[in-house]
Structure formats: structure tokens, C-alpha cells
Amino acid sequence: MGGRGALYFAFRLPSRFAAVLSVSPISPITAWGRSLAQMPVWLFHGTADASAPIAETKELVQAIEAAGGHPRFNSLEGRDHFILDVYDQPDVYNWLLQQKRRGSITQKPTGI
């Protein structure tokens, strides 16, 4: 549940992260959209993912957009849940390195 975990931590502690990249998140929560709209988000999901339906990720993308965010979303045609080769793309690392955290860390983790 790494894709969902990345989204959760970015939602829960947004001041700690410059951006979030999520691959095949299982059951992302659309209520996180408002918080995630405040940071760069890049999501990848396979259209043939039987473990984590792509429809739920599309709903999260819509929730982020509705809150004023501009997430990047790559729908990988015919791909299933196992799309870790996303990390073989230099663009992923270039994008991550371009992101800068806004402000200072204002929240301390509690009970995580």
C-alpha cells in the first residue's frame, strides 16, 4: 500500500513534503483532495489494475482539481498493478528534484 501511504502522509503532514508521487494507490480517499491540491502531485495507474481500480484514482484526481490543484496523472493503457518500471523513467526523478517545500514544518507527527 505504498501508493496510498504516500498520499496519506502528504495529506496528513503536507508541510513536511515538497511533492508526492503515487503509483497504483489502493482506495485513495477523495476527501484528501483539498489538502493535496496545495502541493505538486503525480499519480500513475494501470488501466487493467485488478488490485486497485483506476476509477478511484481518477476520482481523487477530480477531487484535487475541484479544490484548485493541478495533479499530473498518467493512465498506463493495458497495465496492471505492477508498474514499478515507472521508476525507470528519468522524468520522474527530474520532476521530484524540481519540487521545493513551501514554508516551514508546522506540524509534528502525532500517533503515526
**pLDDT of 108 higher than 70:** no
Return the pLDDT at 16: 94
Return the pLDDT at 80: 96
d(CA 103, CA 52): 34
The model's pLDDT over 68-107, given as tens digits with 9 standing for 90+, comes to: 999 999 999 999 999 999 999 999 999 999 999 876 655 5
Q: Which CATH architecture has domain 2-98?
A: 3-Layer(aba) Sandwich (3.40)
d(CA 82, CA 99): 26
More confident residue, 110 or 3: 3
